[in-house]
Amino acid sequence: MSRLPSDTQFAPAAGIGKIDTPVDVQRMKSSLLKDIRRSAYVYRVDCGGCNGCEIEIFAAITPLFDAERFGIKVVASPRHADILLFTGAVTRSMRMPAFRAYEAAPDPKIVVSYGACGVSGGIFHDLYCVWGGTDQIVPVDVYIPGCPPSPGATIYGFAVALGLLGQKLKEETHVEGDNERVVIAHPTVPYDLRVLIEREARRMAGYRQGGDLAETFLTALETPDGQGLDGRLDRILRSTDDPRAREILEALGGVVRIAAERARP
Amino acid sequence: MFKLLKEIFRTGEATVKYPFAPLPVEKDMRGKPEHEAERCIACAACTIACPANAIGMTTDVQAATRTWSIDYGRCVFCGRCEEVCPTDAIRLSTEFELAVARREDLTRRAVFRLARCEVCDTPFAVAKEVAYVQDLIEATAPGAEDAAQRRRLVATCPSCKRLHDVDQLEKLGVGRRIEETRR
């Protein structure tokens, strides 16, 4: 316990702001990962989260996802733990308990930072009482982002922590190429009409499905087929079986008809 | 006993096969936001909409570049960036396997070139954005002469625009007219 700051001391002074992993523990940890022949026990440390992550951890050990079939078991004491799961942004009040849980777990231990708040402070990163992510106080081995991470993401994160699966993400930087240019979408449809169509579709179905429906509608409207406007709108309506989508496409057709009426001299 | 076995057989296996088989997910699931830098005009709408400040932009005037970046570790997967994007460059995919061992691997960056002002030659806005706005103006302008004038206006930096405005007001003699009406 010698590395711990005293309970009354809240400001992170130099040298004790974060606990480091000694070299011998690092060696033990790599051998643990290589020779683990038993269940990995997980202790969950809530550093001040909203409980969303806890609900998803619980969902990951239910029979549907069943993390326990891999031997991942949630235990009630850090003294039994191989994996420490830190959820929530590190708050001022929960910093000392988090330190204590870390110290209580036997070496070698794997530290997993869980959820957007655990990884970086998440949406609470600039609050007055928030220290930041878990990596501000203890050395972290695996980061599982998500708000909250779904049970699938949780199982994947555990698999990465235990070295069963490799990570997919890599740091990337895209540099703008020469002659890179963004063209206007649907240039043959008048701009004002396109805005009207997109607005109506989003009003009726939200930005995601509405945007997709507006996109299919505009693409179909642009495709030349030798028919008049009415024939083309009929063809668009016949292209879907979903009555909800058809209602929206019908409304979009109405928008086009009104605009065509206005444009007529 | 037989009844129990029958019940178990009837129920089948509820547990998903993941991670040995892909997990079936909803088409509109809010997963990792995928940014297509080729379609991005760096208008910064997503950086303003992002409630967690996961998306940000920094400008380097010396190198005449603007860098867009997203931190998946801070993202709360709300979809606001997708909602505000004018060119559909960012879209939430169904990808959820984001766990990493290095914090830096959660970052994506895109570097964009800045356009120089037509008058004073200082970098002021992302070149792709300026070109996109010029295209839009061309498509909506009433006449060819009008379009050319608006294009020039778009390619001018705000401070030069202000100077130009003052110049125009001077030429029109607005100040003199105000003084006359005061008298």
pLDDT tier at A35, thresholds 50, 70, 90:
low
Q: Is residue B4 part of a domain?
A: no
- pTM equals 0.84
Question: What value of ipTM does the predicted structure carry?
Answer: 0.84
- pLDDT at A34 > cutoff 80: no
Interface of A with B in 11-70 (CB under 8 A): 63-66, 69
Q: Are A122 and A147 in contact (CB under 8 A)?
A: yes
Strands of B83-181, DSSP E: 90-92, 107-116, 123-126
**List of chain B residues whose C-beta atoms are within 8 Å of the C-beta of residue A152:** 16, 18, 23, 25, 96-97
A39 or A1, higher pLDDT: A39
Domain residue ranges of chain A, discontinuous segments joined by +: 8-161, 191-258
Specify the amino acid at residue A215: E
> DSSP alpha helices (H): ranges in A92-182?
95-104, 115-120, 151-161
- The answer to whether B28 contacts chain A (CB < 8 Å) is yes
Q: Is residue B156 part of a domain?
A: yes
- pLDDT at A2 > cutoff 70: no
Instruction: Please name the member of B18, B110, B135 whose beta carbon is closest to the beta carbon of A174.
Output: B110
Instruction: Please name the member of A119, A141, A176 whose beta carbon is closest to the beta carbon of B111.
Output: A176
User: Which pLDDT score, from 0 to 100, does residue A160 have?
Assistant: 87
Boundaries of domain holding B150 = 25-182
Per-residue pLDDT tens digits for A165-205: 888 888 889 998 888 889 888 888 888 899 999 999 999 99
Using CA coordinates, name the residue in chain B closest to A193. B140
- The answer to whether A120 contacts chain B (CB < 8 Å) is yes
Using CA coordinates, name the residue in chain A closest to B131. A181
- pLDDT at A239 > cutoff 90: no
> What does pLDDT average to over chain B?
90
**Residue B56: CATH number of its domain:** 3.30.70.20
User: Which pLDDT score, from 0 to 100, does residue A7 have?
Assistant: 43
- How far, in Å, CA of A104 to CA of A108, rounded? 12
Fold classification of A8-161 (topology level): Rossmann fold (3.40.50)
pLDDT tier at B46, thresholds 50, 70, 90:
very high
Q: Is residue B73 part of a domain?
A: yes
Instruction: Please name the member of B15, B71, B99 whose beta carbon is closest to the beta carbon of A160.
Output: B99
Phi, psi of A90 (to 5 degrees): -75, 110
Q: Are A177 and B112 in contact (CB under 8 A)?
A: no
> What does pLDDT average to over chain A?
85
Both ends of chain B: CA-CA distance in Å? 108
What does each C-alpha distance from A57 to A29, A38, A54, A155, B153 come to in angstroms? 24, 21, 5, 9, 55
Tell me the percentage of chain A whose pLDDT exceeds 90: 48
A37: tokens are 């022949």
A231: tokens are 């024939």
What is the tally of structural domains in chain B? 1
- The answer to whether A175 contacts chain B (CB < 8 Å) is yes
**List of chain A residues whose C-beta atoms are within 8 Å of the C-beta of residue B106:** 119, 143, 145, 169, 171
Q: Is residue B98 part of a domain?
A: yes
Q: Are A112 and A140 in contact (CB under 8 A)?
A: yes
Instruction: Please name the member of B14, B83, B103 whose beta carbon is closest to the beta carbon of A64.
Output: B14
User: Which pLDDT score, from 0 to 100, does residue B83 have?
Assistant: 94
Flag the least confident range among A42-46, B90-94, B167-171. Answer: B167-171
Tell me the percentage of chain B whose pLDDT exceeds 70: 100
Cβ contact B77–A147 (<8 Å): yes
Q: Is residue B52 part of a domain?
A: yes
Flag the least confident range among A6-10, A210-214, A226-230, B122-126. Answer: A6-10
